[in-house]
Amino acid sequence: MKLAVSGKGGVGKTTVAANLVKIFAQHGGTVYAIDADPDACLAAAIGIPEDEAAKLKPVVEMRDVIRARSGGGVFYTLNPKVDDFIDDYSYKLGNIRFLRMGDPKKGGSECYCRENTFLNALVTSLLLDQNDTVIMDMGAGIEHLSRGTARGVDMMLIVVEPSRNSINTARQVEKMAGELGIARTGIIANNVRSEKQIQFITNCFPEKSILGFIKFSEELWLNAMEPSPALETEKELLKEMKQVYLNILGEVGGNKH
Amino acid sequence: MKLAVSGKGGVGKTTVAANLVKIFAQHGGTVYAIDADPDACLAAAIGIPEDEAAKLKPVVEMRDVIRARSGGGVFYTLNPKVDDFIDDYSYKLGNIRFLRMGDPKKGGSECYCRENTFLNALVTSLLLDQNDTVIMDMGAGIEHLSRGTARGVDMMLIVVEPSRNSINTARQVEKMAGELGIARTGIIANNVRSEKQIQFITNCFPEKSILGFIKFSEELWLNAMEPSPALETEKELLKEMKQVYLNILGEVGGNKH
């Protein structure tokens, strides 16, 4: 199962991705958790200590290794097999393998085309070659999607909140997912506080495409101020996310397992 | 006065930028409101109807005009004077001139280096050559900042909410602003719901750098579901934003006016 999580900034993509990683991991098999957004914080949300995550080599550095092995050729035209390298660049937590794509950029840096091409090759390889579960936190998503990173994704999960702006972004992501040839998209509604808000989101998408609703949580906000977020997902959120998990299996699992 | 608004996705950058645009506009002079984030929705927040904003040519198309004028040269090495073109590409609302940088990208599109270089030239030109107020909504900010778009900015406004993740992003932005040579940064705290949250943010930054606190608003969320957001900013938010405006003038204005 290969899943990508996208949606407008701030809607809760990382919370959704982290909980899916944990739930898939509980059901056995290796789960690759990929932080593909320099502005995201998937490691902490999974339960990897911040200092450990900071020590982890970003996979973008892997290009030098591959370049060396390929005899110094123009690396960005290759589609490297990354299986041999993944252990060096991932943080293991039980059967979760966490990888981060890159560090935040420096102000005033140059063009990233080579870097991005390499990252695409790598992610595509992960998505296409691995038999295990891959869950990618794509951040605001638009940039990554546009570079073709999403090839091989079984389902594009789009997180929305009860605002017209996040719905508009979701429609853009749906459109791009179609352009990229991704067969399935699913909506996860987050930060829902009222029946009116549930109704608003229900009216925006076909019923079948909505994978679940996640209620606004005061506890999550309290937690957000702590240096190390609590590892235990609160009960209500866990229940909601398990339903999302089952709905994803229902949509994708039939053809995969 | 040239201001850029940045911060983690979903913290309320567009709300802050839109209100500053309106407040500066009330005090006379032309205000350029620039939507530099394909995932943002500054037009609607200022009060420009969605269908009118959608009709507006994105400034990235201006490159063809400039290319033609420059005799078909390699346009992206130029630093075009954009003053002549701005009227064609902006939407006027009173003394506000709204410009949007570009359309959302298509899934699987190619490299955007030329486009980005052009946009940088344009924004730099706007920031350096215009005598009026320029307010840029930079979205999640990291990508744009990293391409040098921020040159000429008098103050980088960084919106945070009471979460460690948004504070971490703010620190990244502060670091990049330093690398770009931006002299001043200021923090605007949004979505604040409790004294504990105010204290949390106060503890994260030097007191002088905090330009204001904006309380969480249930009304804003209700409004977010409407097709045309109310043009009138609610009283409490307006009061808070006016204080932010005065604090910005206090920091930057002394040297500018």
> Token pair for residue B37?
């984030």
What's the confidence (pLDDT) of residue A176?
82
Q: Say yes or no: B163 contacts chain A, CB-CB below 8 A.
A: yes
- For residue A157, pLDDT over 70 is answered with yes
The residue-averaged pLDDT of A115-122 equals: 59
| CA A57/CA A40 separation, integer angstroms | 16
pLDDT in tens, A73-102: 443 334 445 566 677 788 999 999 998 876
**A162 in B contact zone (CB under 8 Å):** yes
| C-alpha A87 chain-centroid distance | 19
Residues 57-86 of A with CB under 8 A from B: none
Determine which of A209-213, A236-240, B83-87 has the lowest per-residue pLDDT on average: B83-87
pLDDT at residue A173, as a whole number: 87
Q: Does B203 touch chain A (CB under 8 A)?
A: no
Residues 14-53 of B with CB under 8 A from A: 14, 38-39, 41, 44
Chains A, B: CB pairs < 8 Å: 134
List of chain B residues whose C-beta atoms are within 8 Å of the C-beta of residue A113:
111, 113
Q: Mind listing the pLDDT tens digit for each residue in B92-119?
A: 999 999 988 766 555 554 445 555 555 6
Q: Which residues of B touch A146 (CB under 8 A)?
A: 105-109
Please count the residues of chain A: 257
Looking at beta carbons, which residues of chain A come within 8 Å of B138?
none
- Residues B21, B90: Cα–Cα separation, whole Å: 15
Burial of B95 (0-12, 13-18, 19+ CB in 10 A): middle
pLDDT at A73: 44
Asked if B121 is an interface residue toward chain A (Cβ–Cβ < 8 A), one would say no
Lowest mean pLDDT among A11-25, A164-178, A204-218, B43-57: B43-57
Of A153-162, A192-201, A211-220, B27-36, which gets the smallest average pLDDT?
B27-36
Higher pLDDT, B192 or A256: B192
Least confident of A31-40, A96-105, A153-162: A96-105
Q: At a CB cut-off of 8 Å and minimum separation 6, what does A169 contact? A: A7, A8, A140, A142, A160, B39
From the list A39, A116, A179, the residue facing B169 with the nearest CB is A39
Bigger pLDDT: A27 or B117? A27
3-state SS, chain B, equals CEEEEECCCCCCHHHHHHHHHHHHHHCCCCEEEEECCCCCCHHHHHCCCHHHHHHCCCHHHHHHHHHHHCCCCCHHHCCCCCCCCHHHHCEEECCEEEEECCCCCCCCCCCCHHHHHHHHHHHHHHHHHCCCEEEEECCCCHHHHHCCCCCCCCEEEEEECCCHHHHHHHHHHHHHHHHCCCCEEEEEEEEECCHHHHHHHHHHCCHHHEEEEEECCHHHHHHCCCCCCCCCCCHHHHHHHHHHHHHHHHHHHHHHC
Farthest CA pair distance, chain B: 61
Give the pLDDT of chain B (257 residues) as one tens digit per residue. Answer: 889 999 988 899 999 999 999 999 999 888 999 887 766 789 989 998 878 887 887 776 666 665 555 544 443 334 445 566 677 788 999 999 998 876 655 555 444 555 555 566 666 666 666 678 989 888 655 445 444 556 678 899 999 999 998 998 899 888 888 887 887 999 999 999 999 999 999 999 999 999 999 999 888 888 888 876 666 778 899 999 999 999 999 998 755 54
Cα separation, A82 vs A84, whole angstroms: 6
User: Residue B39: its chain A contacts at CB < 8 A?
Assistant: 8-9, 140, 142, 169
Give, in order, the Cα–Cα distances in Å from A173 to each of A6, A7, A178: 8, 7, 8
User: Taking CB atoms and an 8 Å cutoff, what residues of chain A touch B41?
Assistant: 165, 168
pLDDT band, residue A110 (cuts 50/70/90): very low
Mutation target vs B (from A100, A143, A163, A176; most B CBs, 10 A cutoff): A163
Q: What are the structural domains, with CATH classification, of chain B?
A: 2-252 (3.40.50.300)
Question: In this structure, is the dihedral angle defined by the CA atoms of residues A172, A178, A181 and A184, taken in order, positive or negative?
Answer: positive
State the number of CA atoms in the 13 A half-sphere of A151 facing the CB. 15
pLDDT at B90: 86
Tell me the pLDDT band of A195, cut-offs 50, 70 and 90: very high
Give the distance from CA B44 to its chain's centroid.
14
* Distances A156 to A19, A128, B44, B175 between C-alpha atoms, Å: 16, 15, 27, 33
C-beta of residue B90 within 8 angstroms of C-beta of residue B126: no
Map chain A to HEC letters.
CEEEEECCCCCCHHHHHHHHHHHHHHCCCCEEEEECCCCCCHHHHHCCCHHHHHHCCCHHHHHHHHHHHCCCCCHHHCCCCCHHHHHHHCEEECCEEEEECCCCCCCCCCCCHHHHHHHHHHHHHHHHHCCCEEEEECCCCHHHHHCCCCCCCCEEEEEECCCHHHHHHHHHHHHHHHHCCCCEEEEEEEEECCHHHHHHHHHHCCHHHEEEEEECCHHHHHHCCCCCCCCCCCHHHHHHHHHHHHHHHHHHHHHHC
Angle between helix A13-26 and helix A235-248 axes, rounded to 10 deg: 70
Average of per-residue pLDDT across A190-214 = 96
Which range has the worst mean pLDDT, A6-20, A26-40, A132-146, B16-30? A132-146
